[in-house]
Amino acid sequence: MQPDILARLIDTGGIQTWGSRDLVLKPNEAVTIIADGKIQDTLSETVLKSYTGGWGRWLGSRIGLGSTDHKLLFTMTGPFDLLFLIDGQLGDGSHARGMAALRLQFNREDCAKLLNVFANGPRLLDRGFFVRLYERELEERVIRPLLAEYADGRKLHGREFQDAFEMSCRAEMRGSFGLAGLTLLKAYCTVNQTDVERLAAYQHQAQLAQDSRQVDADASLAQLERARAATLARIEMENDIAQAQARGKAGRKLEHELKNLRKHEASLHAEREHAQGMADVRVGEQEAELQSAMAAFTVVQQKKQERLRMQAKLNGERQEQTDGMQREMMQMAAEKAVLTPEVMLEFLKQQTKQKEADK
């Protein structure tokens, strides 16, 4: 069977060939034999010699020998994944989207339980069939209640949420999976970044910019304090020199110290001007980055809403065109007297594929 096909029910009476055929079962395949409404056996990793078709089997059915109703149920017993869409609201009202992956497996002993599904379903079951079968129940019993318990979107990426999701799947979906003979091996999900997380990132950037401005302000105040102390020392030295000169006692030592103080004051002034310029540049860059990030976030949200509205409109128009075309085709089939169950089934399959493509 193809990888996407998980189970198939075949009526061996519909296989009409002159030569009999052998059935080879691989390690990940199992066949359940149903004869006259009774389950005979479930086999795997074996070869069924001359089990379908052939002149002898056809002749036996004609003269009343053998079983009149003989069916084979083929099942893939290897693990497979089903993907479900996550779309719900958190406890604080914010939106969350993502994908949930459930790894399932058919046990050989439980393959016969698939007859419960075939009783009201098609003769061929693929991954898409089981996704449609369980998606509504998974959303209402697991996804929505679990998301409502979390008010912070950042917690959806933690181990606690993953463990809670898997436990909820095992507890709430056990009965439904058991009716089809399915066993849940693993369940996990991936959630996209929420609006709350984006807002928290922007707030963190704003806080960093504010802290940087505070550090620059403290450094500027310290430089001003040092410059004030140097200026006061220079004024005091000049006053001492003036008094000494007036008394005729000015010395070289005081003049040399005055020159050094003036040089130190000029150096501090240059450092203060340079630090102030660098601080202004950093603050301007951070404010520009923050404004650009907030503007980009607003534009992304507007584009997202516009894209969702356009997608909904296009999906509606495409669905109306598809429904009109299918009604015309079914009317033509009815007029030509070829509106058989197979044709109706094909129309339904095409409509299902179109709806899946529009999601």
Provide the residue range defining the domain that includes 147. Answer: 80-194
Q: Which of 67-76, 220-229, 322-331 has the lowest mean pLDDT?
A: 322-331
Query: Which of 132, 77, 70 lies closest to 110 in space, CA to CA?
Result: 77
The answer for residues whose C-beta is within 8 angstroms of residue 4's C-beta and 6 or more apart is 126, 127, 128
pLDDT category, 248, cuts 50, 70, 90?
A: low
- Report yes or no on 338 lying in a domain: no
Instruction: Indicate yes or no: pTM above 0.75.
Output: no
- For the chain, the average pLDDT equals 78
**How many Å apart are CA 214 and CA 212, to the nearest integer?**
5
Domain count for the chain, please give it: 3
pLDDT at 103 over 90: yes
Q: Which of 18-32, 211-225, 299-313 has the highest mean pLDDT?
A: 299-313
Q: Are residues 87 and 167 in the same domain?
A: yes
- pLDDT(347) > 60: yes
In a domain, 329, yes or no: no
Average pLDDT of 189-210? 60
Residues 52, 10: one domain?
yes
For 35-90, the pLDDT digits (tens) are 877 888 888 877 776 555 444 454 445 544 455 567 889 999 999 999 999 888 88
Is 230 in the same domain as 244? yes
| Torsion angle, alpha carbons of 143, 144, 146, 151, to 10 | 130
